[in-house]
Structures are given as structure tokens and as C-alpha cells.
Structure 1
């Protein structure tokens, strides 16, 4: 069977391509821009990627076309598919019908932390001898791809609230019908498709409405939007996690050590390799989700010890290296809350002098300026931040930050070199934050730092 994927270079669709290839299907795809690490993954799998959406590709006569949510009505190739009544489906529906229906599914949802938490669960399963399937929006360190079928009857999936396709405006996550659902946090995001957080909550509610009663929800008890969501109705068992011992799963910090509690009782100390409060919450959710599968019968201490070994995810506060004593990190943060979490994590837990940030506003929400008020307060714990204005934003970034002394807006990446040499001193830390490829910014920074 030949499957052709339109919009193949997105993390979800690129991962889907890997799974379909593993199942023995012939897979081809098309996209306008294909960046690492997904482009590298597709190349390793010998998947042909056509760099356009020209109609000629339909002459390959694929048996099925999987249409990504980057595609829309009015595009010539979409109109041709509809006119000729060629079989098509969405990525989430294909995944649910061909893989998830036969698996025990752990779905990780939330505005932030999906990739890290999903990767942590996949890492722990592998570490504990379970060959689980997974589809993750990034590549865990120590893994060579973002998706795998696995031999055992378990599957970990990022449950994204973004819409499915132009012909199915429900969130992707509604297709997955998980046995264990993590709800890590909910904030306003995706301003290109959602008007407010209430619309996002409504999509989460649709997911909960179709959860089997025997499913289990693992929910962050410190998030007011999650509390509002649960009040809309839930028919599955709920276990809460947080920093209060009254929760089913909790962590408490004592000096530089974390204590892990299960139903008020201390289980063990917890000393993970990943850092920051947000990653402690991710760890709690991951441990609780595996414990929620009774047939695995894994001791809680073994779960904790496994989680402590997790090295992290590429582009999630990933340590790039040290250049002229300056530590450089790369992060996928593209929301004010995630930006604050990354800066605070580096400032509070990493040895060194000051923390600096280089930020590119690349997401649709950031480009529209929907969160500009929050963004203006995101750099309080940062010595200085440079925002790269790529020219495609729909608001005046320079005006918005003109009175904020520790933020500079650069319209040309080449200006970053002189800025770095003016502000950076020995042992400082710099984090790059963008949801586009960070390669160009990274190379520019490394060249600047090596010449200090």
C-alpha cells in the first residue's frame, strides 16, 4: 500500500511517516519546508519528500493520501483530490484506526511539557524493559527517531489540542481515546484557531466526554483551568499530582533534594538530571501514568529511579556546549509561560553568572501578538534578552519593548554579534528559544562566543 502525506515535515506527520514505514507501507510525502531533526529522520528512512504541492505528484496514484492541518481549501492539490474523489484521511484518524485501537494508550496533553513528559515515559518504559510504541513531537536524547511501533501492547502519544485537518476542526487528541490521560496544564495558545481559553477547554471537554469509564485521568491540581475543565464533567477516575502532600502524587523540596510522596507517604528521594519546577511536574505526571497501568506491576521506587536517569529531549533546555566559558542551551519555548520556565530553570539551578536569552517569535500566537502583554513580563529574571524580529509579525515589537531596559529587538541577526560581545562576560548562560529551526541562530552565537 502506498501512502502519500501532505505536510510531512511537521513533527506529527513526520513521525506518522516513520510508523507507516515500519508497518511495511510505501511512504512518500510533500512539504514546502523540511527542517532537522525531522528532515534527517525522513532521509534515514529513505522517504521521498517532494518540496512542493504541485498536482503532478498525484500521478503516483497513491492508495491513500494523509492530509496534514497545514493544508487548506483552495489549494490546487486539495481541490484536485476532492474533484477526483481520491481516498484521503487525517493523520490522527489514521493513527487511531491503524495503531492505537490495539494498544493501551497513554496520552500526554497540556499547553506545555507534552514532549518532555512523553519522552520521559518512553525512556522509563525502555529502561524498565518494556518495548513500548510512541509518537513524540521531538526526539528524546538516546533515541534515534521520534516514533516507534514497539513490540509490547503500549503506546505513548502527545495529545495535541491543535485542530486535525481542514475537514475536521476537532482537536487531534479527540481521536486517541486513551486509557491514561495526562492533563499537565492548560493556557491560552494557538491564537490562529482559538478565540480564548474557553474554546480550548471545550475541546478538552470533548475528549473527556468520550473517555472510557475505566480510563484514568492524571491531572495537575495546581492549574485553575484544569479545575474548571473537571467541573464541566468527568466520568473516569482522576488522580491529582502537585507539590501538596494531599495529592495522590506529590514532590516536596528540602534544600537541594526532592522528596517523592504517594498518598501522604514518603516513597523516596528524587534527584533527576533534568531541572526546573516544570520538569518536576512533568516527572510526577510520567511516573503516575505508568503506575496507572495495573498489569505492569512496577514498584514505585523502580519508577522513581528510572525517571532519575532521564537525560532530556533535544531542544528542551538542551545543553549545546560551553564556548569561551559561556554555556549555551537550546529550547523550543514559544509561549510566555514556557519562556519564563526556561529562564527561571537556568537562573535557579545552573551554576554560572547571569542568564541571557535569544528569542524568535515564530509561532502563530506570537506573531499575532495575542500574548504580548504576558511576553513583556517574561524576561524579569533574565539579565538581557534579544528578540529577533523576522519581519512577519503583526504587531510593533520594538514599540512594545521600547521601555523595557533588559530587552532589545533586533531586525537583523548579524547585529547579535556586537550585542553579545557588549553584554556577555565569563561563565554566563545563554538560551535560544524558538519553535523554528535554531540552527542559524546557534551557528551565529557559537561564532560570536568563540571570538570573545
Structure 2
């Protein structure tokens, strides 16, 4: 079958393309801009890429056949020329999540990782743990689809040889014609509910609307499956109170069925127990209580899939996180520079707290871009200043088109905050402050105009 994927360079749709190619389909796709890292991965797989959304990409021509099926990404809207042609020509079409659910996941034991924060890291870690377990239990060799490129695998998706398939289960909507959350299409046997907060202000009016979508996911998990649920999260407890038909195991720091006790305050070393019985100690490179919670949920899910949890503990030491999750991009004259995906106040706060526990009194400088839809709409504005409590200085990228006054945030930082109208100005402001021993973190869920690497280069040129 010939598939054309609209929005192919997004991490999710790029993963769909890779899986379709692995299944033997002829795959091509288009995006507003064909860009790495996904374009590089797809080109290596022999997938044809087209820049822009035009009707001609879907029309037959002398060197181009009409697709048998169009797979539509959730960034597509009515009015898009490719979408309008697809509808007018009555081409067969389907959303990415529905195609995945029907074509790849239907015969697999699906392990879905849901939550406002930590989905990508936890999905990558769970796949890594099952891969480790498959050395002794070959049937656990996982397939996966991750919203990023996990360091241990180097690709965002693969079919895998075993029964499990690990998938990042996003609550964002499916497509312009299907406004349910993506994860309702996955029908997992094991589901991690990592946390639940208000986000995606562009599609959800309040947190109750998100809870309803999470309960839709809960309704799809069978009675012989498992729900792995954050023991600290009251909103998830409210979701389960709406009705639950599946055994639940909880996880937490000194709380829940699966418990972690910190040995090092930064979360780099902790012990694990299950139902009061010691499992062992984890030593790894990740930091922060949020990372410990991700680790517990992944370990519990891997155990529910049939792996020996004690035998999995050494695998944590070899886990390589996803790009842009506290990724060290350079160190120049004692200044360490990180690129991080944090774009929600809770993620910002927990990331900075983990770093603070590691570096002690060293200065932490933050560059923050309000890039997500919720950030740009100001949905998190009131919580931003408190989330930056562990930062010694903050430079907030306040582009002219931002619809709300970032000065409210910087004013609440008590002299620790400043705004910059452009990335160039932001880099200059940081450069003027940085000194040996500083930790500099760039936080955005967008490209940030390559600011972290540009900042490193500016340090080298000083």
C-alpha cells in the first residue's frame, strides 16, 4: 500500500512513517518544512519527503502515484490545501493514532505511558528496561514509538520482535476530524498514569476536561491488565473514582505499592521496594524527584509485563535519556550549558530542584522561551515565578507578538529576572552574566533558534 503522511516530520508522525515502512508499505509524506532530526531518520529509511502542503503532492503524475491512504497528523486543519484536496477528491484518510491502533497495536501487548509530564523519558526508559529483560526472556523484546529519539536506540520507533509495544500516550487531540485524545486508540493492557495537571489550554477548557479524557483511557484497559498510578496525584485519584475495572498498583517516593527512598538528595541514587519487600538500589545519571518517579513507574510496568524487577536494576545505569532532557550541550571555562524540554511550571520547578540538589550553591541561570500553546496564551503565567525559585537569574524571551506581559513574571522574581525581545538579545544578556561554575539551562519545547548551542559558541569565542 502507498501511504502519504501529512505532517511527517513531527516526532509522532515520523514514528508512524518508520513503522509503516518496516511493515513493507511504500511511504512518503509532506510537512510545512522538512527538517531534522526526523527528516534525517526518514530519508535513511528510504521515505520520500516533500516540503509544503499542496494538492500536487497527493495527485498522480508522471513520476508520482496517488496514495492509497492518507495518514493525517493532528497539526492539519481545514483550509490546508492538501487537506482540502484530500476531502474534495474523496481520498481515503485516517488519523495517525487510529492507523497505529488498528495496524500495529491490535495484536500486541500495549504498554501506554500517559501523563502531563515525563511521557517521553518514561517511554524510552520502559523500552530500555524491556530490551534489557529480553536478553533472558526473548519474548519481551519491545516495539516502541517515542516522541523523541531515545539515546539507547537511536530511532524513535520500531516494530520489535516480542509481544510488548511501548507507546507514548498523548492526551492531545487526534485530528481535525477526531477530537478525542490520541491515547483512546491504543487499547493498552498496561497503562502508566504518571501525573495529571492542567495543560494544552488551546483544546482543554479546564483540568476536568483532561480528567475525562484520562478516564476514557482507563475504560479501555482490560480487567486482566494493570494500571500503574502515581500515589501522590489527587487528580488521578479522582479519575479512578469515576470508575475503575482494572487492578491498580501505585508508586511514589516513600508512598505506594512501589516505593523509592532517596539515598542521594538529587535522585541519582535511590532504593526501591515493592509491597514492603526490598528490591535493590538504583544508580543512574538522571536527576530530580520527577526522574525517580519516572523510574518507579517504568519498573512497575516492566514487572507487570513479566520482567524480573530485581534483574532490571543494573539497566538504569546504562540508560541514555532522550535528546533535550537536561542534555549537556557544552562546557566552556567552567560554565555548563544544558538544553531542556521543560515548558510547564511543574516540570520547570522539579528540573531546577534536581539540579540544585546536585550543584549546591553554584549559580543556576535560566533562559526560558514561552513556546507551548498554553505558555503563549498565558495559562501558566501566575505559576511561572514560583517555579523558578531555584534559579539565581532568569532571562525570559518576550517576543513582541507574545499576547501577555512577561514583566509580571520577572517582577515577581525580586531582581533575579529580565526579559529579552530576541534570541540574540537573550544570549547577550546571559553572556554578560555567566562566570565559571555557573549552570545555564535553556528551557523550551521548541527549537529556540538553536540558542543553547549558539550560547556555547559565544562562550568559546570570548
Partner of 1:264: 276
Deviates more, 1:72-81 or 1:267-276: 72-81
Partner of 1:338: 347
Instruction: Measure how far apart 1:172 and its partner are.
Output: 0.3
Instruction: Measure how far apart 1:379 and its partner are.
Output: 1.2
Partner of 2:67: 62
TM-score normalized by structure 2?
Answer: 0.93
Instruction: Measure how far apart 1:190 and its partner are.
Output: 0.4
Alignment of 1:276-291 (within 5 A): 276-291=288-303
Partner of 1:249: 258
Partner of 1:25: 25
Deviation string 1:41-73 (CA, Å, 9 cap, x unpaired) is 122223222211111111131000001111112
Question: Which consecutive unaligned segments of at least 5 residues does structure 2 have?
Answer: 60-64
1: CA distance between counterparts of 2:448 and 2:143? Answer: 28
2:238 is paired with a residue of what secondary structure?
helix
Instruction: Measure how far apart 1:155 and its partner are.
Output: 0.3
Question: Are 1:119 and 2:137 matched, yes or no?
Answer: no
Question: Are 1:36 and 2:33 matched, yes or no?
Answer: no
Deviates more, 1:220-229 or 1:317-326: 317-326
1: CA distance between counterparts of 2:80 and 2:432? Answer: 48
Preserved contact between residue 180 and residue 218 of structure 1 (Cα < 8 Å): yes
Alignment of 1:46-445 (within 5 A): 46-59=46-59, 60-128=65-133, 129=135, 130-245=140-255, 247-255=256-264, 257-293=269-305, 296=306, 298-350=307-359, 353-404=362-413, 405-438=415-448, 440-445=450-455
Preserved contact between residue 69 and residue 166 of structure 1 (Cα < 8 Å): yes
Partner of 1:3: 3
Preserved contact between residue 360 and residue 390 of structure 1 (Cα < 8 Å): no
Deviation string 1:264-322 (CA, Å, 9 cap, x unpaired) is 122212222211110000000000001002xx3x3221122222321222111112221
TM-score normalized by structure 1?
Answer: 0.95
Question: Which consecutive unaligned segments of at least 5 residues does structure 1 have?
Answer: none
Deviates more, 1:316-325 or 1:157-166: 316-325
Aligned length: 448
Deviation string 1:128-152 (CA, Å, 9 cap, x unpaired) is 2243100000111132210001111
Structure 1 residues 346 and 36 mapped into 2: Cα distance closer, same or farther (>3 Å)?
A: farther
Deviation string 1:1-38 (CA, Å, 9 cap, x unpaired) is 11001111111101111111111111111111344322
Instruction: Measure how far apart 1:400 and its partner are.
Output: 4.3
Preserved contact between residue 330 and residue 456 of structure 2 (Cα < 8 Å): no
1:99 is paired with a residue of what secondary structure?
helix
Instruction: Measure how far apart 1:399 and its partner are.
Output: 4.6
2:245 is paired with a residue of what secondary structure?
coil
Preserved contact between residue 244 and residue 251 of structure 1 (Cα < 8 Å): yes
Instruction: Measure how far apart 1:401 and its partner are.
Output: 2.6
1: CA distance between counterparts of 2:100 and 2:221? Answer: 17
1:328 is paired with a residue of what secondary structure?
strand
Instruction: Measure how far apart 1:352 and its partner are.
Output: 7.3
1: CA distance between counterparts of 2:39 and 2:452? Answer: 18
Instruction: Measure how far apart 1:76 and its partner are.
Output: 3.0
Structure 1 residues 36 and 347 mapped into 2: Cα distance closer, same or farther (>3 Å)?
A: farther
Deviates more, 1:165-174 or 1:383-392: 383-392
Deviates more, 1:348-357 or 1:134-143: 348-357
Partner of 2:62: none
2:249 is paired with a residue of what secondary structure?
strand
Deviation string 1:152-179 (CA, Å, 9 cap, x unpaired) is 1110000100000011110000010101
2:313 is paired with a residue of what secondary structure?
helix
RMSD: 1.6
Deviates more, 1:29-38 or 1:55-64: 29-38
